Amino acid sequence: MITKEITGEGEVRDYYPEGGTSFRGAIEEKYENLVAIFGEPSREGSGDNKVQCQWIIMTPTEVATIYNWKDGKNYDEENGLENEDITDWHIGGRETTVVGYIKMAIAKYHEEINK
């Protein structure tokens, strides 16, 4: 499975992941922007349906994940959101440093599209 890595300068490139993560922070961002930055989600869904889509990203220090939590159609068929409508995302990692790298890559993307 190909995932993404953020370099120390905020560049995004392909990476092959290892290990698990847990919640370290949150962001508000459009799904389409996350796809533009990190590509299509690395994984669709989780066994318990709490996560509908997830990106796995290697930062300069460790693996990070971006994922929705309990707001997708797979969790709540009647009121849940499609991927394209989700804007609240969790950031997972082993340490909180991953949050800064994710936010840096997103900020860099917004700077480039607003030039």
* Residue 72: CB atoms within 10 Å: 23
Quote the pLDDT of residue 26: 98
**Percent with pLDDT over 70 in the chain:** 90
**Angstrom distance (rounded) from CA 112 to CA 115:** 5
What are the boundaries of each domain within the chain? 3-113
**Percent with pLDDT over 90 in the chain:** 67
Stretch 10-34: mean pLDDT: 83
Quote the pLDDT of residue 9: 83
Quote the pLDDT of residue 17: 55
What band does 16 get if pLDDT is binned at 50, 70 and 90?
low
Q: Exposure of 25 by Cβ count < 10 A (0-12 exposed, 13-18 middle, 19+ buried)?
A: middle
What band does 42 get if pLDDT is binned at 50, 70 and 90?
confident
